[in-house]
Chains A and B, each alone.
Chain A
Amino acid sequence: MSGKAPGLDVVQQWFQAVVTHPGGVAEGLAGEGAQRLIRLDRADLEQVVRRSGNLTAEERLSIYANAYWARLLECLGDGFPVLRSALGEDVFDSFAFEYLQRYPSRSYTLDRMGEHFPQFLEETRPPGADWPDFLVDLARLEWNLAKVFDGPGVEGRTLLTYGDLQGLAPERFASARLVPVVCLRLLAFRYPVNAYYTAVRHAEEGEAVPIPDPAEELVALLRRDFVVRRYTLSRPQHALLEAVLAGAPVSRAIEAAATSQVDDDTLAAELQAWFRFWTAEGFFQALATG
């Protein structure tokens, strides 16, 4: 380093480049990012950072570098606890380490740090293999659980009851729109990750839960009384709720659920049971008529 002392902006960009470098402080110091800002030999580091009585300047910077990765790996793992247990901590951390380099946190809140993690797992999947679907789906499930838990909800509000539907003329019901609760989310998985999630939670400590074989699993999430509820759906149920979420009238949503495998009488009976169950569980805020 020579000449005028670097400004605050340069010092901060240099510091960040050094302590967040994936190769550690020594590589960070030598790296292009840091050298472009403050040209400095490793031996001259004390021109920028002082040593203490006990530690060299490099050792002191390493405290920040170690803490940066330790903190973010810990927090990301906390956001995906079942995925972390499925992969094992070391494998999870190696994925997370790569992820944080590609998608470093850019928000004031740690809660958004995992936002791109499912997408990252998809982007970096090895070609030709199916098993990454399991990891991506499990990450998506855990991300959505966190969002539903702390996102907007309907606690304290009056929701649609089955009784509200019973008094309606069939044609009025058909033309109405069901307003889903704001926290309702539908998910389609290629592996039964919701069942896996349940199995892991019920497993004894240290008990291994086998990775399931691929199979379609359709799931609804919502929050009631501040606790996230999970529902496995059949394909017709998923289709119907998907149409509701898209704002379709009830008649169109029911059409979406109709399949060649089910005759009209059976479907009618099933619909009644579904709506009874969904209203009891708080799936809908209201019925918009007219």
Chain B
Amino acid sequence: MSGTPADRPRRLGHADLGLGVGLRSVHFDHILRTSPDVDWFEIISENYVDSGGRPRYVLQQIAERYAVVMHGVSLSIGATDPLDIEYLKKLKVLAREVNARWISDHVCWTGVLGRNSHDLLPVPFTEETLRHVVERIRIVQDVLERPFVLENPSSYVTFAGSTMEEHEFISRMAEEADCGLLLDVNNVYVSSFNHDLDPVEFIRSLPHERIVQFHLAGHSDYGTHLIDTHDSEVIDPVWELYRLAHELTGGVSTLLEWDAKIPPFPVLHEEVLKAKRFLGEQLAEPAWDQAPSVAAAGSPVPHPLHHIRPDVE
């Protein structure tokens, strides 16, 4: 995968899988019954690695018909606790079983001292963190023996001790560890709003040939800040950023996440198909100060968060 950006292939040589959606258990029956014309599925790895029941059985059937990518939330690549090698081995087994095109997780940590907050917690962007994360990515790649991709999470704080911006950290991380990037366009928008930064600069400054996948999702607007709730449509400013990212990368696998107030599958599918409007059109510089989404209320739970309920007679 190494080489200079100029001679490196787009997407690090990985396939453009097209327009996919996140696999959620409420859609299992619909997908098995109708075989919808969706290009690919992304799974939440933790929902399947230990499954001996219906979730894994359904996944096996889906993997026979569709391309599958594994997306995790518990790797905790940025944590100072040791990596969970048993968990990594389980990822590897599942990846082989479903022929996962690549395995992804987030540039974050989820807990220390043995605990898991089940949240994607922010790291300070320092040289120390960069060395630490790069070293751990190399270990993960050695264990998984499959393409490994990391995503920029939504974040709600920044650290006074950070010595670089997130986009610089991610760019250097990807180059030094020689890994792919999953660019979550909605997360760029959410974090940039929360940290008073420019999402266009973020997207422009990444090593575009390392971007293997895009994420799209909806978020909630609390006026003073945005939260990545994955519970609604993608808003227009995020689509505009997607248009820019598409232009800069030449197009990569695109996936819509929807984790709360999950609509019927056709609605979900229709939402990701909106991406077609932004592919191959005349591209314009996005105006990121457009009107944001409808104001939200209540107790927000940032996602991804997904729990499969048992079928009991």
A joins B in a complex = yes
Stretch touching chain A among B164-172, B178-186, B205-213, B300-308: B300-308
Given contacts A20-B117, A153-B52, contact A11 B161 (CB under 8 A): yes
Give the distance in Å from the alpha carbon of A216 to the alpha carbon of B128 in the complex.
60
Interface of A is mostly: helix
Q: Which residues of B contact A27 (CB under 8 A)?
A: none
Contact B312 A16 (CB under 8 A): no
A14 to chain B minimum Cβ distance, whole angstroms, is 10
Knowing A16-B117, A150-B308, say if A70 contacts B301 (CB, 8 Å).
Answer: yes
For the complex, is B124 an interface residue (Cβ under 8 Å from A)? yes
Interface SS of chain B: helix, strand, loop or mixed?
Answer: loop
Residues in B with CB closer than 8 Å to A146 are 310
Interface residue A67 (Cβ < 8 Å from any Cβ of B) = yes
B119–A11 CB distance below 8 A? no
CB distance from B163 to the nearest CB of A (A): 10
In the complex, are the beta carbons of A71 and B53 less than 8 A apart? no
Is residue B311 within 8 Å, beta carbon to beta carbon, of the partner chain?
Answer: yes
Closest CB in chain A relative to B6 CB, distance in Å: 34
- Is B8 an interface position by the 8 A CB rule? no
A72 interface residue, CB < 8 Å from B?
Answer: yes
A52 adjacent to B196 (CB under 8 Å): yes
Q: Which of A5, A78, A145 has the largest number of chain B CB atoms within 10 A? A: A5
A74 within 8 A of B: yes
CB 8 Å contact bits of A138-157 with B (1 = contact, 0 = none): 00000001101111110100
- The answer to whether A109 touches B74, judged by C-beta atoms less than 8 angstroms apart, is yes
Complex CA–CA separation, A210 to B138 (angstroms): 57
Q: Give chain B residues whose Cβ lies under 8 Å from the Cβ of A79.
A: 307
Chain B residues whose C-beta falls within 8 Å of the C-beta of A55 in the assembled complex: 224-225
A8 in complex: contacting residue of B87, B113, B126, B299, CB < 8 Å: B126
Residue in A48, A50, A109 with the greatest tally of chain B CB atoms within 10 Å: A109
Known A110-B118, A151-B53: A12·B112 in contact at CB below 8 Å: yes
Q: For A174, what are the chain B residues with a Cβ–Cβ distance below 8 Å? A: none
- Total interface residues on B, CB under 8 Å, equals 56
Interface size, A (range):
35 or more
A172 to B140, CA, bound (A): 54
The CA-CA distance from A106 to B87 in the complex, in Å, is: 13
A73: shortest Cβ distance to chain B, in Å?
10
B211-246 Cβ-contact flags toward A at 8 Å (1 or 0) = 000000000000111010000000000000000000
Is B310's CB under 8 angstroms from A150's CB?
Answer: yes
Chain B positions within 8 Å of A54 at CB level? 223-225
Q: Is B313 in the interface zone, CB < 8 Å from A?
A: yes
Within 8 Å CB of A49, what residues of B? 157-160
Task: Tell which of B87, B158, B310 touches A145, judged by Cβ atoms closer than 8 Å.
Answer: B310
Q: Which residues of A contact B35 (CB under 8 A)?
A: none
Q: Are B307 and A226 in contact (CB under 8 A)?
A: no
Given the known interface contacts A13-B112, A108-B116, the answer about A61 and B310 at a Cβ–Cβ threshold of 8 Å is no
Residue contacts A-B, CB under 8 angstroms, 11 given = A15-B121, A16-B115, A47-B160, A52-B195, A60-B157, A63-B300, A67-B119, A75-B305, A107-B116, A145-B312, A150-B51
List chain B positions with a Cβ less than 8 A from chain A.
46, 49-55, 57, 74, 79-80, 84, 87, 109, 111-119, 121, 123-124, 126, 128-129, 132, 156-161, 194-196, 223-225, 227, 299-302, 305, 307-313
Residues of chain A having any CB pair with chain B under 8 Å: 5-9, 11-13, 15-16, 19-20, 46-50, 52-55, 57, 59-61, 63-64, 66-68, 70-72, 74-75, 78-79, 81, 104-111, 145-146, 148-153, 155, 223, 226-230
For the A-B complex with A48-B161, A52-B194, A66-B300 known, give 4 more contacts whose Cβ atoms are closer than 8 Å.
Answer: A8-B80, A55-B225, A64-B119, A149-B310
